[in-house]
Structure 1
């Protein structure tokens, strides 16, 4: 069968032939129709992601949409290695297959599942967001961050604050439900002062997609708000601005900040699957918007480096 294959660490996937998958007991075979390219897919393909196995060759892709042998249309996640979702067929534990709503098309389902799950799980499984609370999304201009603004509002946030490095893109996030936007370009103490203004009014949950300097400033500003502010649940999701920060120990001792992560490992896989199920059911009714660009899987070598963080690439195949 045809597939997008990685033969070694750091190599771009190549469109080629791979052996057919044979399902074992408890597994389902899927004829894939759509699979999205996401940062985690790229990171695992390069061998850099903490969940990567570093066993080559393998087919890239962690999730997708397709049809079971009986014709049922499903979303699936975490195919059985070395099979990935970017192939004509995949084998997946049957418990990792979710029936798709009839009004949700294949490309949208494939595009939205992974980035939407990141904030859905962070809000429901980690932060335990309550209706009427205030959410700050740090890094709201990328695909996942833009969805986080929409999902936080859908899940009951009364106020949503959005930050971003691109001022023009940040302005467009207001139309998605952000009440306040904070450009990150200023940096330093000016940025910290902007954060302190918001923490003084009360921020219950921070969804952080950036880490790096902006996360440092957020945590320090939240700590300085001290007893005058509500306790903050800070959920770390992505590290687009860097993998490490410098955090004074006093920032945690002097405040009611709860610092936690959300992702593969911090949330059990079966709970992540349930988060995706809830997200897919809510996508059409909630009016969630995501920009997606369908590309034939045969063009994977060309399209792989062209991926745009604001316009999700979805590789498509014929069922």
Structure 2
């Protein structure tokens, strides 16, 4: 079969031949892949730097996708460790890591939206007892996952959604998606705007996050009120030197959200409702359908475009 193939962690994948996969038991199924998103975690795994990366080469990248099984049903599926990736003509899925989709679902939209939507959906549904009416700050709101987080926070009942990011042109578009306030990262107004937030969804991390923590905590009127900082992404770096005084001087907790901190069972329980909302058009995301044969060129373009690339056969 044809697939995107990673032969070196230092190079983008190339389009080439790969051994046909075959199910190994009754819990597995061969599927024809219709759409597979190019996500940040996929790029991280393919370069060998993500914590979930496989060290074996060659490999087919791709952590999720939409495909049609041998039973004729349309499915969204997530691949676990050791499974062949989704950027191929075909792959083998574990049935209990898939959900059925309505047959009229747009495969490209679902494949492009589920992963970036899942980041904030799982954070607010699984990592914190989030309640309608609470206030949310989103750091890194101008990326695909961040702009989806704006929409999901509002959908789940946030009374205030403060969107912070570096791209001011993209920031200006976020009120239409549900942001109640927008502010550039590094702007002196951020601390005052976010002084009463209950939850922070952080796609940035690194020293940028530490600076925001400091300015928000300094301006917090009542430091005994709980604030939960959820680390989701690391666009500004994997390491953040957090002073212990931040944790001692306020009712402040830091948690992570991702595969591992959220169990596979929890993720599977959340997928059907999220997929339903995406399929019905509740959330907006820009996707670009790209033939899989163009994977090498698209891989290098991904960091420079605003759309989420979705590979199709």
When the two structures are superposed, what TM-score results if normalisation uses the length of structure 1? 0.93
For 1:84-99, what aligned pairs fall within 5 Å after superposition?
A: 84-99=85-100
**CA distance in 2 between partners of 1:91 and 1:49 (Å):** 23
Over the aligned positions, Cα root-mean-square deviation in angstroms equals 1.6
Contact in 2 for aligned 1:205/1:232 (Cα 8 Å):
yes
Q: Are 1:128 and 2:122 counterparts?
A: no
Q: Are 1:304 and 2:299 counterparts?
A: yes
> Which string of whole-angstrom CA distances, capped at 9 and with x for unpartnered residues, describes residues 69-125 of structure 1?
011000011156351100111111110111113453000000001100000000100
> What's 2:75 paired with?
74
Contact in 1 for aligned 2:162/2:194 (Cα 8 Å):
no
Select which of 209, 214, 227 maps to 1:220.
214
Secondary structure in 1 matching 2:213: helix
Post-superposition offset of 1:223: 2.8
Contact in 1 for aligned 2:36/2:66 (Cα 8 Å):
yes
**CA distance in 1 between partners of 2:254 and 2:80 (Å):** 31
> What's 2:151 paired with?
150
Post-superposition offset of 1:226: 5.1
Post-superposition offset of 1:271: 1.4
Does 59-68 or 74-83 show the bigger shift?
Answer: 74-83
> What's 1:315 paired with?
311
Secondary structure in 1 matching 2:99: strand
For 1:195-206, what aligned pairs fall within 5 Å after superposition?
A: 195-200=190-195, 202-206=196-200
Contact in 2 for aligned 1:9/1:54 (Cα 8 Å):
no
Q: Are 1:17 and 2:4 counterparts?
A: no
**CA distance in 2 between partners of 1:222 and 1:108 (Å):** 36
> What's 2:204 paired with?
210
Change (3 A) 1:77 1:280: same
**CA distance in 1 between partners of 2:276 and 2:189 (Å):** 36
Contact in 2 for aligned 1:137/1:148 (Cα 8 Å):
yes
Does 67-76 or 6-15 show the bigger shift?
Answer: 6-15
Contact in 2 for aligned 1:4/1:60 (Cα 8 Å):
yes
**CA distance in 1 between partners of 2:146 and 2:9 (Å):** 28
**CA distance in 1 between partners of 2:59 and 2:184 (Å):** 40
**CA distance in 1 between partners of 2:128 and 2:306 (Å):** 25
**CA distance in 1 between partners of 2:247 and 2:115 (Å):** 31
> What's 2:65 paired with?
64
> Which string of whole-angstrom CA distances, capped at 9 and with x for unpartnered residues, describes residues 258-277 of structure 1?
10000011111121233232
Post-superposition offset of 1:285: 4.2
Contact in 1 for aligned 2:12/2:299 (Cα 8 Å):
yes
Does 308-317 or 164-173 show the bigger shift?
Answer: 308-317
For 1:275-290, what aligned pairs fall within 5 Å after superposition?
A: 275-285=270-280, 287-290=282-285
**CA distance in 2 between partners of 1:123 and 1:310 (Å):** 24
Secondary structure in 1 matching 2:9: coil
**CA distance in 1 between partners of 2:17 and 2:65 (Å):** 19
**CA distance in 1 between partners of 2:162 and 2:281 (Å):** 19
Bigger fraction of residues in helix: 1
Q: Are 1:252 and 2:229 counterparts?
A: no
Secondary structure in 1 matching 2:172: helix
Number of paired residues? 310
Contact in 2 for aligned 1:58/1:82 (Cα 8 Å):
no
When the two structures are superposed, what TM-score results if normalisation uses the length of structure 2? 0.95
**CA distance in 2 between partners of 1:102 and 1:266 (Å):** 32
Post-superposition offset of 1:154: 0.4
